[in-house]
Amino acid sequence: MRKTHFKAWSMLLFLLAISFSLSIAQEKLRIINYNVLVGMETDTTSNKESFANWIKYQNPDILALEEMNNFTQKRLEEFARQYGHPYAVLLKEDGYPVALTSKCPIVNVSKVLDNMHHGFIKARIKDINIIVLHLSPHKYQKRNEEIDLILETIASYPSNEKWMIMGDFNSVTPLDKEHYNNGKLAKSMEGNDIEYSYVKNLVNGKALDYGVHQKILDFGFVDVLRVFHKDFISTCDTKIFNPNETEDTKSRIDFIYISKNMEADAITSEVLKDSFTDYSSDHYPVLFELKNRVGR
pLDDT single digits (tens) 129-169 = 999 999 999 999 999 999 999 999 999 999 999 999 999 99
Contact between residue 130 and residue 94 where contact means Cβ atoms under 8 Å apart: no
Q: How far apart are CA 265 and CA 289, in angstroms?
A: 9
pLDDT at 8 over 80: no
pLDDT band, very low/low/confident/very high, at 10 (cuts 50, 70, 90): very low
Sorted by sequence, the CB contacts under 8 Å of residue 123 that are 6+ apart come out as 89, 100, 106, 107, 108, 109, 110, 129, 130, 132
**How confident is the model at residue 246, as a pLDDT?**
60
Residue 264 has pLDDT above 60, yes or no: yes
Q: What is the pLDDT of residues 207-263, one digit of tens each?
A: 999 999 999 999 999 999 999 998 766 567 676 544 455 666 789 999 999 999 999
Average pLDDT over residues 72-79: 98
Give residue-wise pLDDT tens across range 15-70.
444 444 444 445 899 999 999 999 999 999 989 999 999 999 999 999 999 999 99
| Domains observed in the chain | 28-171+210-245+255-291 (3.60.10.10)
Q: What pLDDT is attached to residue 50?
A: 96
- Supply the pTM of this predicted model: 0.88
Q: pLDDT tens across 159-210, in order? A: 999 999 999 999 999 999 999 999 999 998 998 888 888 899 999 999 999 9
pLDDT of residue 293: 72
- CB contact set of 61 (below 8 Å; sequence gap of 6+): 29, 30, 31, 102, 103, 104
Interval 6-14 mean pLDDT: 48
Cα distances (angstroms) measured from residue 29 to each of 26, 117, 185, 188, 227: 7, 30, 35, 38, 17
